[in-house]
Structure 1
Amino acid sequence: MKVMVMIKGTANSEAGELPSQALMTAMGNFNQQLVDAGIMESGEGLKPSSAGFRVRFSGDKRSVMQGPFVETNELIAGYWVWNVSSMDEALEWVKKCPNPMMVDSDIEIRPFYNMEDFAEVDSNGEISAQEDVLRETIAVQKSMQQTTLNNYLFFGGRCEEALNYYKQHIGAKIGMLMRFSDSPEPMPEGILAPGFENKVMHCEVTVGDSKIMASDGCGDGTTFSGFSLAITLATEQEAQKVFATLSDGGQVTMPLEPTFWSPLYGQLIDQFGVAWMVMLPEANNK
């Protein structure tokens, strides 16, 4: 069951009195125990109500009130969200908590509603289905916050020439650069055009605060041949999901599989004609 554990406000917390270093250390150790036990989803301290606002609803009218608010014992100074097996387990954890205030204080525990609690008013399940979609959307948004997206340019044999030009004229900084001859694994038979052995297989270029990836590609062209979007995911599960989603209705040009530069790497063209490179970071921990 999911519960919210609320640290009630005191006159001290409303005055903006900060906890001592000893109390901060003790609370940090307690939070570590919660994380190690696998029950803590989130937890934050709140500034005094003088930094907050209330919005009062009366019919179609809204009125805004600025803090501070006088009902100190009704205010919340901080909270956790826990996933526990029962209210008894939540109570046992709260009893282990250091006193979160420098004075006498209270901690309140309240369970969250589940959609099952609304079965009487959601007889056809439409609201529950909508909530499922929202939860999935939030989960995707949260996981994608760790995702990076870069342009990957293909110069058809003129990559090094382009790098030197951009370095001279727009201050580009060349980071890691690998030639096909540097590859620790041999290139598949027939994939590399004659004379491309010393061409750029992969490089990273920084212009201002933007990073661009580039390559000569494997062909024998002499002009700019296009680009891909290189998307780096945080976990194998996300990489598999994104690769499957983007390739639906499109074309897989390289299956998602381990390579010497990435635990998982694959290429595809989506149904809109956009080329993608999906990968995990080199130091990914599954």
Structure 2
Amino acid sequence: MEKVTPFLMFQDGNAEEAMNFYISLIEDSKITSIVRYGAKEAGEEGTVMHATFSLKGQEFMCIDSNIKHQFSFTPSFSIFLTCSSDEEIENLYEKLIEGGQALMPLGDYGFSKKFGWLNDRFGVSWQLTLPL
């Protein structure tokens, strides 16, 4: 085995929008490659056939699925962020929750100084923690 990479499948043609949103929030992050569907290919022209991006050095892959599935993202798999300050966790939570859904509102649950769990507007689940 060479490596393990988390893979996100978007079904509404918004993989590129999601990647751009994520890299705008997390420093040291970037889109590393995008291959788009062309004319007369399986997916909608211009959407993401395959892309890679990194968040703080962690590589991810994603696509805009050309097949509508009966499933989407689930909170049982989430992106876990360890924050450095109160300001950072509050800022990230506020931006990620916009248009999304709180699973555990930002607060003190006893196992960290502050913790929050949410689904963002794309349906991707995030856990944010500020360690004790």
Q: TM-score, normalised on structure 2?
A: 0.44
Structure showing greater relative contact order (alpha-carbon pairs closer than 8 Å, 6 or more residues apart): 2
Larger Rg: 1
Is the helix fraction higher in 1 or 2? 1
Is the strand fraction higher in 1 or 2? 2
